[in-house]
Every structure is written in C-alpha cells, then in structure tokens.
Amino acid sequence: MSAEFDIERTLEGSRGRYVIRLEGEEADLTYSVASPQLVIADHTAVPDAFRGTGAGLALVERLVADARAEGFKIMPLCPFVNAQRRKHPEWADVFNA
C-alpha cells in the first residue's frame, strides 16, 4: 500500500470522484457507474504539488479496495489507472480489461 492519505469519495448520480486535498490542491480520480457491477475509471489528475507523493497510486488503491468490498469490476479507460493495473497483477480480480 502506498502512503496514507485522507481520500474522500463522492457520488452524484452516476458520476463519482475520489479526491485527496493537500495545502489547497486536489488530486482526483473520476469514475462513472455503468451498472452496479461495473465502474469506469475515467480520469486521474495529480497536480505538481503532489508529484512523487504516491497520491495517484493511493487513489487507484482506494478504487480497487472499494471494488473488492462492494463487488464491482473496474473498466480502466484512464491511462494512469490502466498502467497501474498492468503493474499490479494482484488486482486482476477487479479489473474488466
């Protein structure tokens, strides 16, 4: 697991977001709920203030943890999420790629 961050998860309709706030900056991972069984990871944005902190990885780890806990699969349309999926074969159980 990467560094510990306070990650907030919000969901409005079918659009969701994981966000880490640090010193007025936000790193986030957005997703769309396609069905109760499938979430599409759309985009990850990590400002320069977060570079090298592991914030991006922490966001993906939280998504993976939630997928396991809630029983949904992840479709990684976001290039960063897809790259992390390839680096972590132990996450294969939650990816629909």
Per-domain residue ranges for the chain?
7-88
Distance CA 63, CA 25 (A): 20
Residue type, 50: F
0.85 surpassed by pTM: yes
Q: What are phi and psi of 77, to 5 degrees?
A: -75, -30
7-88: CATH, from 3.40.630.30, 2.40.160.10, 2.40.40.20, 3.10.20.30: 3.40.630.30
Identify the pLDDT of residue 3. Answer: 61
Q: What is the mean pLDDT of residues 30-35?
A: 98
pLDDT tens by residue, 33-69 = 999 999 999 999 999 989 889 999 999 999 999 999 9
Q: What percent of the chain clears pLDDT 90, i.e. is strictly above it?
A: 89
Q: Which of these, 49, 45, 37, 53, lies nearest to 78 by C-alpha position?
A: 45
Distance CA 27, CA 73 (A): 23
